[in-house]
């Protein structure tokens, strides 16, 4: 009984982690905020370029993960 309970908990944790790591909407919201920050002068273009590249790379990783999972 205890094993089944622990297994269920670990399965739920894994599910939630996967959902969070593959949440495209969150990354897109971060990109939108980044554009607003650039437009209002809260970050430099250099900072924007660096962070934008990271977020776009993350979106590409999410897409690749989802493709592999479906296949």
The pTM assigned to this predicted structure is: 0.74
User: Could you tell me the pLDDT band of residue 44, with boundaries at 50, 70 and 90?
Assistant: very high
Choice between 22 and 24, residue whose per-residue pLDDT is larger: 24
HEC profile of the chain: CHHHHHHHHHHHHHHHHHHHHCCHHHHHHHHHHHHHHHHCCCCCHHHHHHHHHHHHHHHHHHHHHHHHHHC
């Amino acid at each position: 009984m205890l094993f089944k309970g622990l297994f269920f908990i670990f399965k739920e944790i894994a599910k939630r982690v996967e959902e969070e790591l593959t949440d495209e909407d969150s990354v897109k919201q971060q990109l939108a905020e980044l554009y607003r920050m650039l437009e209002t002068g809260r970050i430099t273009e250099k900072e924007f370029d660096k962070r934008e590249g990271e977020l776009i790379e993350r979106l590409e990783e999410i897409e690749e993960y989802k493709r592999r999972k479906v296949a």
